[in-house]
Amino acid sequence: MNKTFNKSIKSYGKFLKSYLRLGFTFSNDLPNMDNGRRLPEDEKLDKDVRKNLNNPNSNVGAGPDPTSENKDLKEEAILSPGKVAVKNFFRNPLGVIGLIMFVAIILLVFIGSAVLPFNQYYSQGNLTNVAPGGAYMNFPKEMEKEGSKKISIGNTFAVGLTNEDNVYIWGSDNEDKVLTVPSEVKKALQGKKVIDVAAGDRHILVATEDNEIFGWGNNSFEQTKMPPMQENQIKTEGIEKLGAGVQYSVVLTKAKNLVVWGSTMASRLNLIPSEVQGKVEDFDTSPINMIVAKTDGTVQLLGVLGAENQTTMPKKLTDGTVFVKKVALTSSSAAAIDDKGKLYVWGPSRDQISGANVPEFEAPIVDIQGADTTFTALDENGKLYSWGKDNYGELKTPDGEFEQIYASYFNQYAVDKEGNIKTWGLNGFRFGSDDQGRDIFTRLIHGGRMTMIISLISTIIQVVLGVAIGMISGFAGGRVDNILMRVSEIISSFPFYPMLISLSALLPPGASQTQRITMVMVLLGLLGWTGLARLVRGQILAERERDYITAARALGVKNSQIMIKHILPNILSIVIVNATLAYAGNLLTESGLSFLGFGVQEPTPSWGNMLSAAQSSEVLNIYWWRWVFPALAVFLVSFSVNLIGDAIRDAIDPRANER
């Protein structure tokens, strides 16, 4: 027993010795011992400890560094839930991508609609279904090097003849492949001198020195081929001048006779009066008319008569009072220059071309050219003047001294004294044109503004109704909860699209566009709040039993203040997430309604009715740009908003994905 006691005393003594020397520690942290003897590394450790204790700059035994502690506290400071959510949101790359995409679309749509001029009633029959592209006026440099003899302009292209008798074609191609010269035409033109060229709306003609005519492009009415009935006449009399219009072609022979062929049934332009034949000095074309300057100095209009370009023609131009040398036509107005350089312009006042719209000229006019809605004149000093309707930049005339001018359809060319060519007018459609010749890009921008505003307002209505009804139902409980939830179930049980279409049909036939748009917004809001109301109600049921609500009631706070000031901020995150997703859904719904013909109606654009106009198989297969760009716009907005909504949800509740 004494041995056992002595052994215990020795063991306890070793413990006290160890405690006094090192302090109490866990066994894993004890220095290495070997039968009570200190190892060399232990001695080294003791020396380091004593050295640090004697060093005043040492941090050993002095507690934590206050500088690093403050830094850690700053980094780990408690942030407000809003700041935490924002921080989490911007850590989500998909959310940031969605936000950037959505903001970019909003800026493009709303700034673009404020900057881009837009007339929803404007259409242009000569520019229907034009493919996306540009460079309509990017002429080859050889036109300047070789010198320009003539430039003739089509709707999206042009053809030029140089002083070296070379033919060049440029612009944007169309379904008629007008920029591609057929191999048989190339073969036929080999070794022959081209003396004249002409461009119609969608076809090109060239005339050779042996009085042959070759053409390509649209040939719906045989307008690219020499007419068999008049072929001998043309070859016998010789070709003085070529011309072309909308699907028809014209030749002025050296015997002062006109030959017209192609699409002339409606205009009867092929029926040239006998008092005109043999007396034609000059002519110009429009879609349904031709104007002729005769050898006796008088003017005569051919084709569809009775319009203001005939009825308002100055009498002195037809009775021989003045001698006319040059004539020109727009789509519905006319102009003539007499031998003294005086210009006469007439036509409907709506064209903004005649009367007070004609500019003051500094010198006599030597040339006049007509485009679709504008005239361009050249005075003897080489100065240019353009006036009319500026639909595609046709009035942006360059400064300088010029010798030649060419204009037709929507483009103008001017050649200065050094042979340099200046151009202005339509240079292409970024996203193509639709079946009425309207720019799809412009309609996409203005239609996007309409679609996004409708979606926004309908979402606001949904959120206000859903939050209000959900909060009242959840907080009040009992009979009120029962009634409101049954009403929401009844509304949500209705088939959504059939219900919207049925209610849309209640509008009177003469309802204005504003009434129709208002109806769409209200219906989307009234029928779409039920899901949010049920979600809010569930959150209210959970929140109203919490301690802070009990405390507020004990303090006598009114129920309305409890709901608005205490409960609503705690469920706001859920409302925001739901609102973003509802916005994307409303955008798709509005597009679907307009697509079905029950939303925004033409001519007011929206992404939905732009898609509605592109339903046919022909459009889907050939004119792809009419549906691809509106569909892509709807997809990008919906996709970006969904990315934002998902990122907000994850930012507010980071553990949602783990659950």
Report pLDDT for 148. 95
Q: Which is more confident, 579 or 84?
A: 579
Check pLDDT > 50 for residue 590: yes
Confirm if 521 and 567 have CB atoms less than 8 A apart: no
215 pLDDT more than 50: yes
- pLDDT category at 40 given cuts 50, 70, 90 is low
Q: Where are the beta strands (DSSP E) in 245-279?
A: 248-253, 258-262
Chain centre distance of CA 108: 8
Spatial distance between the Cα atoms of 416 and 207, rounded to a whole number of angstroms? 26
Q: Is the pLDDT of residue 83 over 90?
A: no
Q: What is the dihedral of CA 29, 32, 37, 39, to 10 degrees?
A: -130
- Whether the pLDDT of residue 73 is over 60: the answer is no
Q: What are 310's two structure tokens?
A: 């005939």
Query: In this structure, are residues 283 and 248 in contact, taking their beta carbons and an 8 Å threshold?
Result: no
Tokens of 293: 């300057």
> By mean pLDDT, which of 52-66, 90-104, 120-134, 395-409 is the weakest?
52-66
Contact 328, 335 (CB under 8 A): yes
- Tens digit of each residue's pLDDT (9 = 90 or more) over 353-392: 998 999 999 999 999 999 999 999 999 999 999 999 999 9
CA–CA separation, 393 and 383 (whole Å): 18
Q: In the 8-state DSSP scheme, what is residue 567?
A: I
| Distance, CA of 187 to CA of 217 (rounded, Å) | 17
- Tens of pLDDT, residue by residue over 563-573, are 888 888 878 87
| pLDDT value of residue 499 | 78
CA 111 → CA 108, 117, 446, 449, distances in Å?
A: 6, 12, 10, 10
Q: Report the pLDDT averaged over residues 140-144.
A: 96
- Residue 569: other Cβ atoms inside 10 A: 11
- Which residue's structure tokens are 């005393």? 9
Block residue for tokens 């469920």: 571
Give the model's pLDDT for residue 546: 82
Contact 484, 475 (CB under 8 A): no
Distance, in Å, from the CA atom of 451 to the CA atom of 584, rounded to the nearest integer, reads 11
Would you place residue 35 in the very low, low, confident or very high pLDDT band (cuts 50, 70, 90)? very low
Measured CA to CA, the distance from residue 59 to residue 223 in angstroms comes to 100
The reported pLDDT for the residue numbered 390 is 92
Q: What is the pLDDT of residue 519?
A: 83
Rg (CA), the chain: 42
- Report CA-CA distances (Å) from 116 to 34, 433, 627: 91, 16, 21
Q: What does pTM read for this prediction?
A: 0.78
Instruction: Using the predicted structure, report yes or no on whether residue 105 has a pLDDT greater than 50.
Output: yes
pLDDT tens-place string over residues 298-357: 999 999 988 888 999 999 999 999 999 999 999 999 999 999 999 999 999 888 899 899
Tell me 563's DSSP state.
I
pLDDT at residue 132 greater than cutoff 60: yes
Look at the block and give the residue holding tokens 């072309």: 244
Identify the weakest region by mean pLDDT among 247-251, 323-327, 538-542, 588-592: 588-592
Confidence at 72, pLDDT banded by 50, 70, 90: very low
Averaged pLDDT, 258-271: 94
Average pLDDT over residues 86-97: 90
- Please tell me the distance from the alpha carbon of residue 162 to that of residue 150, in angstroms, as a whole number: 7
In this predicted structure, the answer to whether residue 90 has a pLDDT above a threshold of 50 is: yes
Q: Which residue has the tokens 């899901």?
A: 531
**Does the domain formed by 88-114+439-656 have CATH 3.40.50.300?**
no
pLDDT at position 127 over 70: yes
- With tokens 């102009």, the residue in question is 335
pLDDT average, residue stretch 12-40: 48
Q: What is the mean pLDDT of the chain?
A: 86
Residue 23 has pLDDT above 50, yes or no: no
pLDDT of residue 418: 93
Q: Which residues contact 326 (CB under 8 A, 6 or more apart)?
A: 282, 293, 336, 337, 367, 368
Using an 8 Å Cβ cutoff, are 157 and 199 in contact?
yes
| Mean per-residue pLDDT, 512-525 | 83
Would you say 273 and 302 are in contact if contact means Cβ atoms under 8 Å apart?
Answer: yes
- Residues 83-117, buried b or exposed e (16+ Cβ, 10 A)? eebeebbeebeebeebbebbeebeeebeebbeeee
Per-residue model confidence (pLDDT) at position 187: 93
Question: Given strand 258-262, what is the order of strands in its sheet?
Answer: 239-244, 248-253, 258-262
Q: pLDDT tier at 50 (50, 70, 90 boundaries)?
A: low
Segment 587-592 shows an average pLDDT of 84
pLDDT of residue 151 exceeding 90, the answer is: yes
Could you state, in order of their start, the residue ranges of all structural domains in the chain? 88-114+439-656
44 pLDDT band, cuts 50/70/90, is: low
For the stretch 610-625, pLDDT in tens is 988 888 888 888 899 9
